[in-house]
């Protein structure tokens, strides 16, 4: 778990936290000095940290695992206006985790002489517990197939061959995405966005004399993995407080997906056979393979 | 007469109020969802400033008393300011500014609470140990009766505002991961409803309170909380400036709906606090209130009811299950229900309802079986103690009635009833009376079913399950499909206990086995390992039940085989039918062994995956310092499951009617290892069932070790005799083969006790305790 602090905006007067190594210190409201409240994480990043450094220290390893055939998930979690979209998507000048990871993915698949790769991508939005395909026009549903486990049926999976194609797909999805504006930040997400890269590879057969790959000729073992990049909605709330009639057991008026995500992570961290409520929200159902395998 | 200047300013404030209402109700485009709300917040802020300024002016004016406190005008203005703070708080929350919401809602509570003699200040600071005794703490909240200083109408109006603020605070704190604090606010709202609202509802509806009421707005029972509801309200100048002139007219249904919100939120808060029974109680109250008030989203209601049914089913409260399911069906069948029956979500909802209905029928069979089992156990104990056998529970000859019969009538029964458990019983479906009492958490005691009633209920359950499976197809809904299959298997198992014929029982167990074993090969263990584990276990148990039946048929033969010096010859002499029965018993026993081993393998695969994930260089086998794969399992629940499998493995191998003495010894030695591992690791599981199993395993270890020892001696003697016989034959003579063999089993046990009692028993050398190289 990594925590990134964004720079203060003009509405914010003074720092509330101090970052030192992997620790966050809460500053005393009155004195501005370090208080006794301390939180430790795997990584912490102060306002001066660039996204490319966050990527190098916290995200790159996930890409490494994906190329080894393991599923990986990166998600940004935080209050509205805390900079999740900036971290995940970024700008042309300061690209986010997604463009950085995509760029390196293709760089490495191109230079890997031992394996042949194919990459597909999908872009989904979860809004009010409904799935929306941001790349296609279908109506996606979460389903379980005998071979693949949990998957999204009816969502377009676009075959991509370069970072440019991925970015174009992302931009296409952005047009369809619900973007909200708040007074804390003009650009703020109100929905969860799930961008998935399906990476499959087979061992390339080498030509002994030229040491060149003979494309299209490979053994039958296919290594498949999914890299899921999630830009979560603001952690404060999604729906109206008075929204009646949602499912009672999950706490509907409270960000259901995020609440369930928190419960799933808590249950996983606590270990044992504590019930992990993946099925309680679309988001956790979709992320189940990444969060806890087939538990 | 010229209007006082203050009233003109107040009129201006009130005009702004109308604009606020209009803004709050504006539906902004998705791109800028909060624009109108921000504007409304800004206007409300201006209204607060203006009203507070007026308060100061009027407080120091002609009508002021002392420092301005207590005069009717300033008090009313402060009520109004509190209301404005409430609205700002709600809007702040809706626009994702929680801390601002807390600030404004606190200001609302700080004024309105004392007005109604409610100590709201204490709510924001629950004691540190609130988690430990949250319920009793909430019950003792200081909520007083209606203040005598207020008219009932104003008191009611202020109370409903206070309930709204308390509800909102409950939601806010729960969202801030502090459900205990949220619960305190909500319990206060609940208490306030009882003390300040409920006693006056009827008077309000009849107009006796002198408060203006309005009918509910269309079919929507509850307007949004930020609805200022001021339509038709008097302006200050148009009223006599009485207490509460600014309040919107009261809608009785709205007030009731506010309380529904309270119990709805309490259901969620108790769920978050892990208080399942309280959560269920509030959940049911919410559903009942929604149902009574009408105008609910039918799909949502049914979905919630089905979820709640699962809880009641787990508690054995089948009367409550039946009541809720009946309500759900009625709602779906209602002509006013507007449903998109072709939508995927609707189909899935109906499938879930079908599963719940199937579970009800199946649950009645199982509960009835439990009643029978309890009675049989009681009889057994009575006989052992030399006491009179208890009267057999009465058979249940119930009509499928919609009205709950008198409990006394259903419980007492007559002598004639006691003898009524025959197949000649009525074919009417026997169901528990519908339980409409939300507070009774007792498990329903189910009277006995007759065989025909059990079959009829089973058929109903099966029909519902089939309808569910039509939606929850295997491809697409793997876990949902298999979950229904599990339920069908449970129904078969429950039904089997009503079946007197062994052959029919066997048929039912065979169906249990086939239902799952046909699906198992289709699943990818990469994704469904845990599901497959449960399936293997269930298949194994169906096979073990089959094995029990088939083995009983050849019991005497098995005993003869056990004693025979030449079992092969004994088998060869058997009639064809008996030989087949023996083969079937052996075959199904071996099948159950195979299923149990596959069950264990899923644990081992999971461990291997974890080891590989944590250490890329890991290939196979147990890591250094680990004696048994059990030590690597993920928590006591997994250990309990694995040990249960070992216990079953030991039991089956012990009873397997194998002829070949070498194989028999191998099976028995493996059973010894299984029981020894249960003894060694069973201490990690602190359940009573495991303690009993562990004791049983110790006992089995003693017996089996002796038996293995005995069989080995027989084998050795038999071989010696064969050798002697071979030698004698060479000399032209013969020797009787079974004359000197000791089969009494009275040989003293040398080391079984120490093995059984020692938790340090070393089983590491045994192959089953490690990890295979292959998946």
- pLDDT surpassing 80 at residue B203: no
The candidate with the shortest Cα–Cα distance to B511, out of B533, B491, B531, is B491
> How far does the CA of residue A2 sit from the closest CA of chain B (Å)?
20
Q: Distance from CA of residue B139 to its chain's centroid?
A: 26
Interface test mutation site (partner A, options B257, B527, B640, max chain A beta carbons within 10 A): B527
Which residues from chain B sit within 8 angstroms of residue A293, using beta carbons?
609
Q: Convert the pLDDT of each residue in A165-211 to its tens digit.
A: 998 998 888 777 644 333 333 333 457 888 999 999 988 776 554 44
Domain count for chain A: 2
> Which range, of A183-187, B177-181, B632-636, B696-700, averages the lowest pLDDT?
A183-187
A83 a known binding residue? Answer: yes
B309 near A CB under 8 A: no
User: Could you give the 3-state DSSP secondary structure of residue B118?
Assistant: strand
Are residues A19 and A136 part of one domain?
Answer: no
Indicate if the pLDDT at residue A31 is higher than 80.
no
**Choosing among A241, A246, A282, A295, which should be mutated to test the B contact, i.e. which has the most B CBs within 10 A?**
A241
SS3 at position B650? helix
Of A237, A251, A273, the CB nearest to B271: A251
With a cut of 80, say whether residue B167 has pLDDT above it.
yes
Q: Judge whether residue A24 has pLDDT over 80.
A: no
Min Cα–Cα distance to chain A from B278, Å: 12
**Domain-ending residue, one of A14, A30, A48:** A48
Residues A80 and A36 in one domain: no
When comparing pLDDT for A129 and B702, which is higher? B702
Say if B296 is an interface residue toward chain A (CB within 8 Å).
Answer: yes
pLDDT-based confidence at B765, cuts 50/70/90?
very low
Nearest chain A residue to B603, by CA: A295
Res A217 pLDDT > 70: no
- C-beta atoms of A180 and B222 within 8 A: no
Q: What percent of chain A has pLDDT over 70?
A: 68
B279 touches chain A (CB under 8 A): yes
Q: Which residues of B touch A236 (CB under 8 A)?
A: 96-98, 175
Q: Does residue B454 register a pLDDT over 50?
A: yes
Nearest CA in chain A to B289: A245
Span B350-370, pLDDT tens digits: 999 999 999 999 998 998 888
Q: What is the CATH number of the domain that holds A197?
A: 3.40.850.10
Contact B268 A249 (CB under 8 A): yes
The pLDDT assigned to B175 comes to: 78
SS (H, E, C) chain A: CEEECCCCCCCCCCCCEEEECCEEEEECCCCCCEEEEEEECCEEECCCCCHHHHHHHHHHHHHHHHHCCCCEEEEECCCCCCCHHHHHCECCCCECHHHHHHHHHHHHHHHCCCEEEEEEEEEEEEECCEEEECCCCCCCEEEEECCCEEEEECCCCEEECCHHHHHHHHHHHHHHCCEECCCCCCCEECCEEEEEEEEEEEEEEEECCCCEEEEEEEEEEEEEEEEEEEECCCCCCCCCCCCCCCCCCCCCCCCHHHHHHHHHHHHHHHCCCCCCCHHHCHHHHHHHHHHHCCC
Residues of A in contact with B530 (CB under 8 A): 294-295
- Considering the domain architecture, whether residues A25 and A57 belong to the same structural domain is answered as no
Percentage of chain B with pLDDT > 90? 32
How far apart CA A149 and CA B530 sit, in angstroms, is 12
ipTM score for this prediction: 0.72
Instruction: Give me the residue from B38, B224, B261 closest to A240, CB to CB.
Output: B224
Residues A89 and A199 in one domain: yes
Residues A103, A245: one domain? yes
The reply to whether A144 sits in an annotated binding site is no
Number of A/B CB contacts below 8 angstroms equals: 149
- Three-class SS of residue B436? coil
CB contact under 8 A, A182 and B96: yes
Q: What pLDDT score does B510 carry?
A: 96
Same domain, A44 and A142: no
Nearest to B524 among A146, A240, A247 (CB): A146
Does A99 lie in the same domain as A30? no
Residues A149 and A271 placed together within one structural domain of the fold = yes
Lowest mean pLDDT across A138-142, B33-37, B77-81, B475-479: B33-37
Please answer yes or no on whether B527 and A254 come within 8 Å at the CB atom.
Answer: no
d(CA B157, CA B222): 16
Residues 400-459 of B with CB under 8 A from A: none
CB-based contact B139:B278 (threshold 8 Å): no
**B interface mutation test: which of A80, A249, A295 has the most B CBs within 10 A?**
A249
pLDDT at res. B147: 44
Report, as an integer, the average pLDDT of B738-745.
31
Q: Is the pLDDT of residue B471 over 70?
A: yes
In this prediction, residue B739 carries a pLDDT of 32
> Chain B window 563-622: which residues touch A at a Cβ cutoff of 8 Å?
609, 613
CB contact under 8 A, B475 and A293: no
Identity of the residue in A149, A179, A273 whose CB atom sits nearest the CB atom of B31: A179
- B632 CB neighbours in chain A (<8 A) are none
- Band (pLDDT 50/70/90 cuts) for residue A7 is confident
Q: pLDDT value at position B644?
A: 95
Q: Which two tokens stand for residue B94?
A: 């809706």
Does the beta-carbon distance from B344 to A141 stay under 8 Å? yes
Question: Residues B582-602: what's their mean pLDDT?
Answer: 95
Nearest-CB residue to A144 (from B31, B287, B478): B478
Residue A80 and residue B168: Cβ atoms within 8 Å?
Answer: no
Q: Which residues of A touch B637 (CB under 8 A)?
A: 272-273
Give me the mean pLDDT over the A218-243 stretch: 62
Question: CA–CA separation, B636 vs B638, rounded Å?
Answer: 5
From chain B residues 625-684, the ones with a CB under 8 A of any chain A CB are: 634-638
Q: Are residues A107 and A11 in the same domain?
A: no
pLDDT at B10: 79
The reply to whether A8 and A118 lie within a common domain is no
Using a CB-CB distance cutoff of 8 angstroms, which residues of chain A are in contact with residue B265?
253
Report residue B11's pLDDT band, with 50, 70 and 90 as the boundaries.
confident
Q: Please indicate whether, in this complex, the C-beta atoms of A145 and B267 are within 8 angstroms of each other.
A: no
Cβ within 8 Å, pair A293-B609: yes
**Which residue, A48, A66, A87, sits at the end of a domain?**
A48
Q: In this predicted structure, what is the pLDDT of residue B229?
A: 42
Say yes or no to pLDDT of A278 above 80.
no
Q: Tell me the whole-structure pTM to 2 decimals.
A: 0.75
User: Which burial class, exposed, middle or buried, applies to B749 when counting CB atoms under 10 A from its CB (0-12, 13-18, 19+)?
Assistant: middle
What is the domain range of residue A27? Answer: 1-48
**What value does the mean pLDDT take over residues B161-174?**
89
Is A271 labeled as ligand-binding?
no
Dihedral angle at the C-alpha atoms of A140, A145, A151, A154, nearest 10 degrees? -20
Structure tokens, A47? 């306002």
Q: What is the mean pLDDT of residues A278-289?
A: 78
Q: Cα separation of B637 and B302, whole Å?
A: 33
Return the percentage of chain A with pLDDT > 90, whole number.
14
**Chain B interface, mutation test: which of A248, A273, A275, A281, most B Cβ atoms within 10 Å?**
A248
pLDDT at B629: 93
Q: What would the mean pLDDT of B598-609 be, rounded to a whole number?
A: 93
CB–CB of B222 and A242 under 8 A?
A: yes
Check whether residue A92 and residue A29 sit in a common domain. Answer: no
- Give A-chain residues touching B301 at CB under 8 angstroms: 245
Q: Is B33 on the interface with A (CB under 8 A)?
A: yes
Do A240 and A282 belong together in one domain? yes
Tell me which chain B residues have a C-beta less than 8 angstroms from the C-beta of A190.
30, 33
Among A29, A48, A67, residue at a domain's last position:
A48
Average pLDDT, chain A: 74
Is 80 exceeded by the pLDDT of residue B276?
yes
What is the residue-averaged pLDDT of chain B? Answer: 77
CA distance A280 to chain B (A): 11
As given in the structure block, the two tokens for residue A83 are 């900079």
Q: Each residue of B106-160: pLDDT tens digit?
A: 999 988 888 877 777 666 655 444 444 444 443 433 333 334 456 777 778 888 8
Q: Which of A184, A251, A293 sits opposite B174 (nearest CB)?
A: A251
pLDDT of B221 reads 32
Residues of B in contact with A66 (CB under 8 A): none
Burial class (CB in 10 A: 0-12, 13-18, 19+), B716: exposed
Cα separations in angstroms, B210 against B153, B236, B248, B250, B383: 7, 18, 13, 11, 73
If you measure CA to CA, which chain A residue comes closest to B310?
Answer: A249
**Residue of chain B with shortest Cα separation from A254:** B175
Least CA distance to A251: which residue of chain B?
Answer: B268
pLDDT of B44 > 90? The answer is yes
């Amino acid at each position: 778990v990594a925590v990134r602090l964004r720079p203060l905006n003009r509405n914010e007067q003074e720092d509330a936290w101090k970052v030192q190594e992997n620790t966050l210190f809460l500053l005393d409201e009155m004195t501005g000095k370090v208080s006794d409240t301390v939180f430790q994480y795997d990584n912490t990043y102060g306002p001066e940290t660039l996204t490319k450094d966050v990527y190098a220290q916290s995200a790159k390893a996930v890409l490494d695992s994906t190329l080894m055939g393991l599923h990986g998930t990166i998600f940004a979690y935080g209050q509205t206006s805390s900079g999740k979209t900036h971290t995940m998507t970024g700008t042309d000048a300061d690209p986010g985790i997604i463009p950085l990871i995509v760029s390196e993915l293709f760089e490495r698949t191109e230079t890997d002489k031992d394996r042949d790769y194919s990459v597909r991508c999908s872009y989904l939005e979860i809004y009010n517990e409904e799935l929306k395909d941001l790349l296609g026009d279908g109506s996606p549903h979460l389903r379980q197939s005998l071979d693949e486990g949990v998957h999204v049926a009816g969502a377009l999976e676009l075959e991509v061959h370069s970072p440019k194609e991925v970015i174009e797909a992302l931009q296409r999805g952005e047009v369809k995405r619900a973007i909200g504006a708040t007074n804390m930040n003009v650009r703020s997400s109100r929905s969860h966005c799930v961008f998935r890269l399906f990476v499959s590879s087979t061992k390339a057969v080498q030509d002994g004399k030229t040491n060149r790959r003979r494309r299209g000729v490979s053994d039958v073992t296919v290594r498949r993995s999914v890299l899921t990049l999630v830009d979560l909605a603001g952690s404060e709330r999604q729906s109206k407080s008075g929204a009646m009639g949602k499912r009672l057991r999950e706490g509907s008026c409270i960000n259901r997906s995020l609440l369930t995500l928190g419960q799933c992570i808590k249950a996983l961290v606590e270990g044992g056979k504590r019930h992990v409520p993946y099925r309680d929200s679309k988001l956790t159902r979709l992320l189940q393979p990444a969060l806890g395998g087939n538990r | 007469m010229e209007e006082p200047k203050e009233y003109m300013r107040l009129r201006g404030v009130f005009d702004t109020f109308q604009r606020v209402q209009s803004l709050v109700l504006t539906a902004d485009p998705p791109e800028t969802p909060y624009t109108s709300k921000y504007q409304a917040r800004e206007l409300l802020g201006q209204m607060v400033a203006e009203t507070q300024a007026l308060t100061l002016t009027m407080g120091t004016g002609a009508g002021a008393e002392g420092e301005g406190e207590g005069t009717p005008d300033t008090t009313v203005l402060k009520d109004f300011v509190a209301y404005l703070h409430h609205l700002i708080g709600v809007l702040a929350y809706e626009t994702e500014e929680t801390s601002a919401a807390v600030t404004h809602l606190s200001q609302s509570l700080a004024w309105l609470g004392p007005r109604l003699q409610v100590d709201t200040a204490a709510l924001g600071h629950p004691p540190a140990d609130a988690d430990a005794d949250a319920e009793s703490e909430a019950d003792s909240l200081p909520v007083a009766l209606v203040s005598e200083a207020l008219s009932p109408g104003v008191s009611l109006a202020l109370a409903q505002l206070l309930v709204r603020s308390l509800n909102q605070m409950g939601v806010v704190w729960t969202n801030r991961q502090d459900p205990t604090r949220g619960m305190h606010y909500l319990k206060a709202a609940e208490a306030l409803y009882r003390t300040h609202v409920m006693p006056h509802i009827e008077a309000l509806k009849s107009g006796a309170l002198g408060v203006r009421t309005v009918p509910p707005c269309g079919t929507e029972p509850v307007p949004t909380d930020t609805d200022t509801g001021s339509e038709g309200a008097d302006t200050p100048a148009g009223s006599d400036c009485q207490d509460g002139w600014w309040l919107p007219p009261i809608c009785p249904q709205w007030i009731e709906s506010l309380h529904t919100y309270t119990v709805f939120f309490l259901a969620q808060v108790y769920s978050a606090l892990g208080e399942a029974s309280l959560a269920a109680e509030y959940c049911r109250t919410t559903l009942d209130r929604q149902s009574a008030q009408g105008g609910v989203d039918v799909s949502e209601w049914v979905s919630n009811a089905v979820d709640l049914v699962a809880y009641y089913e787990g508690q054995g409260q089948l009367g409550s299950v039946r009541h809720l399911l009946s309500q759900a069906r009625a709602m779906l069948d209602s002509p006013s229900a507007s449903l998109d029956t072709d939508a995927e979500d609707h189909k899935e909802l109906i499938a879930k309802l079908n599963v719940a209905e199937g579970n009800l029928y199946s649950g009645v069979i199982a509960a009835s079986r439990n009643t029978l089992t309890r009675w049989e156990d009681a009889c057994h104990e009575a006989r052992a103690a030399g006491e009179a056998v208890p009267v057999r529970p009465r058979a249940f000859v119930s009509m499928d009635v919609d009205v709950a019969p008198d409990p006394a009538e259903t419980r007492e029964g007559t002598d004639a009833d006691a003898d009524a458990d025959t197949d000649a019983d009525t074919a009417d479906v026997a169901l528990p009376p519908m339980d409409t009492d939300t507070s009774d958490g007792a498990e329903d005691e189910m009277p006995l079913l007759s065989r025909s009633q059990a079959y009829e209920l089973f058929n109903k359950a099966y029909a519902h399950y089939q309808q569910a499976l039509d939606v929850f197809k295997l491809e697409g809904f793997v876990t949902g499909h298999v979950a229904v299959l599990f339920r069908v298997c449970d129904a078969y198992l429950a039904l089997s206990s009503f079946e007197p014929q062994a052959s029919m029982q066997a048929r039912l167990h065979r169906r249990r086995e086939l239902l799952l074993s046909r699906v198992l090969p289709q699943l990818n263990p990469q994704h469904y390992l845990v599901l497959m584990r449960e399936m293997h276990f269930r298949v194994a148990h169906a096979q073990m039940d089959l094995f029990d039946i088939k083995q009983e048929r050849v019991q005497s033969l098995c005993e003869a085989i056990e004693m025979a010096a030449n079992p092969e010859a004994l088998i060869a002499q058997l009639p064809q039918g008996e030989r087949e029965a023996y083969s079937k018993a052996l075959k199904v026993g071996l099948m159950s062994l195979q299923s149990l081993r596959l069950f264990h393998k899923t644990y081992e695969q999971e461990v291997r995956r974890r080891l590989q994930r944590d250490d890329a260089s890991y290939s196979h086998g147990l890591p250094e310092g680990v004696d048994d794969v059990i030590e690597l399992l993920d928590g006591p629940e997994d250990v309990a499951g694995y040990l249960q499998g070992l216990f079953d493995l030991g039991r089956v191998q012990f009873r397997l009617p194998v002829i070949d003495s070498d194989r028999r010894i191998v099976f028995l030695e493996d059973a010894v290892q299984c029981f020894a591992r249960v003894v060694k690791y069973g201490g990690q599981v602190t359940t009573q069932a495991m303690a009993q199993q562990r004791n049983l395993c110790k006992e089995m270890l003693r017996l089996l070790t002796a038996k293995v020892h005995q069989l080995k001696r027989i084998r050795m003697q038999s071989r010696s005799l064969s050798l002697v016989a071979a030698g004698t034959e060479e000399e032209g003579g013969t020797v009787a083969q079974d004359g000197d063999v000791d089969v009494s089993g009275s040989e003293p046990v040398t080391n079984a006790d120490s093995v059984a009692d020692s938790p340090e028993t070393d089983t590491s050398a045994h192959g089953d305790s490690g990890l295979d190289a292959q998946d």
